[in-house]
Amino acid sequence: MTTNNDDVKLIGAWASPFVWRVKVALNLKSVNFESIEETFAPKSQLLLESNPVYKKIPVLIHGAKSISESSIIVEYIDETWTSAPSILPSDSYDRAIARFFLVYIVSRCNILLFPAIKSIAAAQGDDEKKKLIKELGEGLVLVEDALKKISNGKDFFGGDQIGYLDLAFGSIFPWLRVVETLHEVQLLDEATTPGLVNWGQKYSKHDAVKDVLPEHEKLVGFAKFLAARAAAAAAASTPN
């Protein structure tokens, strides 16, 4: 099914990895859209009306229709704008594998990633931080193995082109670099994850991606803010 590009809006926030995923998908399909920045203080009426169940970003508004949850939005985009190359694999088995690894990447990496960021300023010892970093590194080695198997030796999970899993890992990649900066560690390197190092260089420079991902320094500043807020909340909840 082909659909007019008119009247496409995306409710999001500049630092949200899930919003980046949808923006890149729209760019891959050459869909013109209006980006609406959500402030959360309080949540906008548009967000509450568009996603009354979860009340979270991102939300894609296409004409009179609202679609929520980033992975669902990406699949909607892929099925709606069919003139551009497909984001999901055409083979049903390959699609199932891609969906499986998306769940793994999002659940494993995100569960470790943001606690690692918040632990920097939170009242946690070095041992806890080292544990988080170690587990995150182990998870990335498994993602490296998945890249080797799925890409067939090409640059992207999708092969020669950015695909479904590239969008998933691409939403995590900038935050991995933030953890590296804040913790003064190297999570991705030529010795353990050469494929992901190459992937990161190619993905970040892709025309559909380069104007979506925030500047590293800006993201580091936001991470420090999150860490400080987590530390303040932890201190406030500690009995005197």
pLDDT in tens, 146-204: 999 999 999 999 999 999 999 999 988 999 898 889 888 898 999 999 999 999 999 99
pLDDT of residue 123: 40
The mean predicted confidence, pLDDT, of the chain is: 88
Residue 232 — pLDDT band, cuts 50, 70, 90?
confident
pLDDT of residue 134: 82
Percent of all residues in the chain with a pLDDT value above 70, rounded to a whole number? 90
The CATH number, out of the four listed (3.90.1150.10, 3.40.50.150, 3.40.50.11540, 3.40.30.10), of the domain defined by the range 8-80: 3.40.30.10
Residue 2 — pLDDT band, cuts 50, 70, 90?
very low
Instruction: Judge whether residue 234 has pLDDT over 60.
Output: yes
pLDDT digits (tens, 9 = 90+) for 100-156: 988 887 776 666 666 666 655 454 567 777 777 788 888 888 889 999 999 999 999
Q: Provide the residue ranges of all domains of the chain, joining segments of one domain with +.
A: 8-80, 92-220
Domain 92-220 carries which CATH code? Answer: 1.20.1050.10
pLDDT of residue 107: 72
Considering only residues 11 and 236, tell me which one the structure prediction assigns the higher pLDDT: 11
Considering only residues 33 and 124, tell me which one the structure prediction assigns the higher pLDDT: 33
The answer to whether the CB of 206 falls within 8 A of the CB of 100 is no
Residue 220 — pLDDT band, cuts 50, 70, 90?
very high
Q: What is the 3-state secondary structure (H, E, C) of the chain?
A: CCCCCCCEEEEECCCCHHHHHHHHHHHHCCCCCEEEECCCCCCCHHHHHHCCCCCCCCEEEECCEEEECHHHHHHHHHHHCCCCCCCCCCCHHHHHHHHHHHHHHHHHHHHHHHHHHHCCCCCCCHHHHHHHHHHHHHHHHHHHHHHHHHHCCCCECCECCCCHHHHHHHCCHHHHHHHHHHHCCCCCCCCCCHHHHHHHHHHHHCCCCCCCCCCHHHHHHHHHHHHHHHHHHHHHHCCC
pLDDT digits (tens, 9 = 90+) for 38-97: 988 899 999 999 999 999 999 999 999 999 999 999 999 999 999 899 999 999 999 999
Percent of all residues in the chain with a pLDDT value above 90, rounded to a whole number? 63
Residue 1 — pLDDT band, cuts 50, 70, 90?
very low
